[in-house]
Structure formats: C-alpha cells, structure tokens
Structure 1
C-alpha cells in the first residue's frame, strides 16, 4: 500500500525549498523502500534547486543518505527488510560492455527505480540523482542500496553516498595515490577535504591543500594536509612546485571545477604526473591549453565521476575503516539539522560555513 511521508521539494528554479507530503508507492520488481535516518546536504542539491542540472521540476531533493530497508519488491536478493544501507546513485546493470569486462564501476547503463514518487495531486517528482532522500522514506532501485555494518552512525555513513566518496575515490581510485607520493588538492570543501583524507589513508608523504578560505585550509590540516596554500594571496603553482623540490606534485586533484583552477592543476603536477578533475564544471565552461604542453608534460589527465567507486566494494570497506578509527568521517559533519532547515543549510553552505549539514530524521 502506498505511503504518505514528509519530504523536501523544490517546485521551481530558485524558489525556496519546502516541506510537503509526498506519496511513496510500494516497491515493484527490483525496487526497495528505505526509511531514511540521515541525509547530508550536498551542493548538488542546491544545483537542482537552481536549475543547474535540468528543468524537470518539481525535484525531490537529497541523496547522501543512510537508512533501513523497509520493504523490497519481487526478485530482490541484494538486500532484505531490516538491513542498514547507504544509498548510491549508480545501480550497476551487470550486462553492459563495462560490466562484462569486469569494470562495473564504469557501468554505462546504471538505473533507478522505475516507479515515480508523487505529490498528493499525482504530480510526478524527479528525485535528486535518482534517490530523493530529504524524506522520511524513499523508493529506489534495490541496487542503489549497499548494506554496511549497522554499528556506523547514520549521519556519518550517509556521507559516503556522494561527496566524501567522490573525494576519497578521486585520490585513491582515479588518481592512484600511493605510499610516498606527493599530492596537491585544489579546493578544500567537502569533496576536496575527502581527497585530502583519502591521500593520507593511501600513505602519501606530502599533501598540499589549496583554497582561498583559511577556515577550509585549517580543516584540511586536521584531515591530513601537511602543507596549506591560500591561493588568494599566493601563486598556487609556484607554491606547490616549491614544496615538491621544484618538480610539482605526483597527483593533483582539482575539486573546484573551473578552467582557471584546472590550469593551475595542470601546471602544478610533476612531469608524467596525474591531474584528476572531480570538481563539477557548468555547461558553458571551456578550457584552452597549449597542445604542446599537453604532449610535452606526459602523464595523465583524468576525470573522476563519483570517485570511480563501486559501492558494493568501497562502502563496506570505508565503513569498516571508520569503525576501526582509521578514517575520520565524523570530521565532515559540521551540524545536524531537521528536515525543515534545509533552506538555511543551503545558505550556510554558500557562505562556506560548513563542510556538511546533515538532516537527521
């Protein structure tokens, strides 16, 4: 039987979000209903509200979530009612050319729930990243549920569903950071901070955090940065080179998503070094680089989508490291809020006052 629950929606571009009642259908084949316990407020949700993703309003916002499976549809074997899960926005198909080659983290046919959640008047909702977790309950594809150790705090676990995983994965999965490497991270918000943390976890010897906000740089130090550079007052390329013996970093993670910071990343890497773009650009942005420099510096220019993660592999591993005290995921939770405080959380995010506000239900 369909359920009515409270949720946060964005009705129109730029309009304040609102708490309203939505209808969540029973799960169909391959689907699951999850009772949400916590959901982080991610910048992507603000992009949805501002129409920066698409114009398929109204949106059901929220996607960095953890909760408990309440019910499952026909044919679901991955999870069962009562399982504590982190939601992901990439349920792999298992059949595309990437999956068949043993690279499901690059699945080209990821999917979400087929049924739609609606407003009371029947208006269909577009769930953010196929999840929609600023809600008491949500409907997802069962493959979007990754079972993890229930000892983890929901407010912490849910952050792996997007930003924290993107940053850690950008460093470890995409960048291949290893023991003794030098790493520079440009942009130290939630994703960049996670890249710093991932680099420390991987054993990097030198981790250089770059930002224009001293508050974020100080947080980066607590997450593992060995050096910080305020690029508002210091040339970050020259500073990174100076801190790496004049060579540049082995891996540079660009967590801003702008042409000017990407150029900084490109010239701040060592010969044969790696640039990883994990910051999300806007559609009108373009990049111009001398092709001879691209050729002459060698190395790799990579883009990291969701940290090149495979949720079934990476989420349980990272939760185990957190429970062992080896991965300080709690450091990303700046505040916990209620469902009706999402709009205010967007304002604090825009001002740079928080790493993550987390809605706790």
Structure 2
C-alpha cells in the first residue's frame, strides 16, 4: 500500500485548516459548495477515498468521510439504508482511476451520505446480468455516469427504475440528464483566445466521442464564425480521442512532421476538447521544442488534477464535478417522487481558469 494520505495533507494542498477538511469530508455544514468541491477533488487526486475503501476491506475502521462512507467500490454494505445504484461501465477509462469520473462519483457519494442513503457501484458493460444486480432491497433508482449503452439503458427502463444520466444522453431512451455548460463555456474560452490576439485555431477532439465534445465543438465554431473567422472542417478539426493519450501523442507527432515537411505552419491556438488531449499536446510541443505559450497556446477543458501540475499549467475550464454528482442525486430523488413529470436537461455553469499555457498569438 502507498503512503498514507492524511487530512492534514489535503488541508495543506488546498490551503485550508484540517478542521475545514474534516467537516467537508464528513458531510457537515459550514463549508461552501466551492470549498467542498476543492476538498473532494483534492482528496480524490491524492487517493484518500481509495485508502478509506482499502481500510474497510481490511477490516479496519476508517475515519468518517461522507463520500467514502457512501461507498466508492464493489462490496459496499448499505445495511438498512435505501440504496442508489451508480452505473459506470468500465469503458473509455470511465472508472475510479479517472481524475474526472471518480470525482463525480465521490460527489454522488457525498450527497447520498448527507441523506443517509447508500451507494452501490456497478461496472457491468452489458445488460445480460443487470436485472440480477439491480435487485437490492430498497433500491431508489439508478444514476448513470458517463457513456452507457442503449441496451443497458433499455434494461433499466424495462425494470421500471427511475434513472438519471450524467454527461450523457440517449435519443432512444429519454431521461433526465445533467451536463456541464459545455457550449457556453467553450465559447467563453475561445473568446478569451480571440481577445489575446489569436486568429488561427485548431480544435483537437473527436466530436463523435461524446455529446460533451460535440457541444464544445459547436461553441468553438460558433464563436469563431461570429467573428468572421472561417472554420474548415477538414483541416481545423483534429479527431483525437478523449482518453488515449499515447495515441494522441503519436497522431500529433505525425501531423507536425507532415506540416514541417511541406513547410507549412500550424495554428497559434490549439483548443482541446478536454485536458487529456491538452496534456498530450503539451508533451508533443515540448518534445518538438515548440514554446508554449510563446509559439503556441494550448487550452483544455475539465480542470482535472494534472492540468495544474503540467509542465506548463493549463488554461482550462473548471467543470464542477462534485456538483454534477450532487445534482444527479437531487434529480433522481425528484424523479422518484414525481415519475410522470417532464424530463429535464440540466446544465451547470463552469468557470474559466486562466493559467500559463495561453498568451498573445503571433498574429497580435
């Protein structure tokens, strides 16, 4: 087992007192939503919740923690409490190792714990055994985290269970869905780069990867076209994966080599659909000796832990991942109380985070 993660370490990283950290992790009041988000994200990044789970598995009594006590893995015993199932198929790095998805799940756990509700995480990838798994007594409903296949959603629907999706929707299976404000936030980020003087852009991300990527592309494109900057779908959009960092690095290396061979330049602003892609871009630019942000500005989206610790800290968009999880819980309970009300698509505001990876363009 790795080095023990203490509340004091978390407090030191977020610049708060150990008392404030303890209150936030125990689900107590007196801590603002923004501060709670920072604490839970930092605790997730350091591996605090994994440590709590390991202690439970070993029979030790862990220190109280709202997100951890609600269950962050298989084998959670809910006792007499009503339970919410969290469906997070282990595809495309949608798991508790992810700096994005794990924070959403811990936000769900935090909200459930405050209501004295239990959480059962399911990582099934097919609908075959779903009915057997979704039979705990007092099951309130299901929260889907990330991409869930249509057959699995149809099975949940067939079982008559209330369900809510986070960062995903399926046109064949209507439901409540919780998203970040992807389009508006990407428009704000693109506007920031325009204000810095950039006039040549790449969008790095496969729009077919997720609904969020598609919305971010639309916000990017709309903002540029409103400023009279034409966007070429063939040359200005690079179809990079949201999870395959090594594959993205290889793709970008080939792309830059091809441009160099043809004595062509690359854009001064690389707008990435998420931080994973942006981190790959930083690695390639550093390896090629291209200065960031001197020659190329790079931006991300999501504000995962690595974005601040990168060789050049990333300008990005902070997605309130803990609050996405909390809002999903609220939406599920509303759906359970009012099963016939119209479905809702809920968009949570994001925040632009300005760091060192973006500066004035060469065109300025």
Q: Please indicate the TM-score interval, normalised by the length of the shorter structure.
A: 0.3 to 0.5
**Larger % of strand: which?**
1
- Between structure 1 and structure 2, the one with the greater Rg is 2
**Larger % of helix: which?**
2
Query: Could you tell me the TM-score, scaled by structure 1's length?
Result: 0.34
